[in-house]
Amino acid sequence: MSARYRAIEVVRASWGAALLIGPDRVLHVTASGPVDTPGRAVTRILGARHLVQAALSGLRPGSGVLAWGVGVDAVHAVTALLLAAVDRRRARAGCTDAAIAAGWAALGWRDLRRDRQRPSTPLPGRPTSTAADGAG
């Protein structure tokens, strides 16, 4: 059986690459406030963060990795709203970014819930233990 990347992480990696490679274009297309040096820097940093997160949670992530990703995305959404509140020139950028981050968090939460509902499968070559056989 071949390992496959989760589709959402392919989309996240593509978004991260767009932010990293073309911050001016993304800021312009989303009408997200001034296209200046600080805006470019933050956009590139966020792009790199998305690429790292996509790499870490792309192939069959466990519940811990999914929960970590949901937390990172939720914190990202809150900090983006704070940006919108304190810098009127970047309010649209903050609100747009918060909506996108909240979407990532919601999709991660959905996957986390699905993962927790799925019966666990033992690792190859490792014995299973149950309460009925006296182990564990």
The pLDDT tens digits for 9-42 are 999 999 999 999 999 999 888 887 788 999 899 9
Considering only CA atoms, give the Rg of the chain.
Answer: 19
What does the pLDDT read at residue 118?
A: 64
| pLDDT tens readout for residues 75-133 | 999 999 999 999 998 899 899 999 999 999 999 999 889 877 765 554 455 455 444 44
* Amino acid identity at 5: Y
**Nearest by Cα to 76 from 55, 47, 110:** 47
Place of tokens 């992530």: 61
3-class secondary-structure state, position 16: helix
